[in-house]
Amino acid sequence: MTFVVTSACIDVKDTACLGECPVDCIYEGARKLYINPNECIDCAACESACPVDAIMSVKLVPSAEFEFIVDEARFFSTILPGRDVPVGDPGGAGRVGPIRADTPFVAGYGR
């Protein structure tokens, strides 16, 4: 994974980054957006489009936000509330639409 959406996106979910992603790898959860680590091509287009600076390279994530690196992958690999199967790698967010669920970490994240 090269880019991750951090806590600044929670309950903001500005979608300016969605239109910039050439491979449609940014998925919409209930409280934040998630970048699919297997579909991302490391182009960085989303990073500069994010008006709240929530998207960053994993190399630049501050230690207080490290859990978001693991949680980003968890969103795609585990069964989320209200779903029967993991999101997986569907080949683009447009194929599945908004997920309307979050990982337990993000669902319980306090501001």
Domain boundaries in the chain? Answer: 3-95
Residues 29 and 48: their CA atoms lie apart, in Å, by: 21
Q: Rounded to whole angstroms, what are the CA distances from 28 to 2, 24, 64, 100?
A: 18, 11, 23, 7
HSE of 14 in the Cβ direction (CA atoms, 13 Å)?
17
Residue 36: is it exposed, middle or buried by C-beta count within 10 angstroms (0-12/13-18/19+)? Answer: buried
pLDDT digits (tens, 9 = 90+) for 42-74: 999 999 999 999 999 999 999 999 999 999 999
Task: Tell me the average pLDDT across 8-18.
Answer: 95
Class of the 3-95 domain? alpha beta
- The pLDDT value recorded for residue 1 is 57
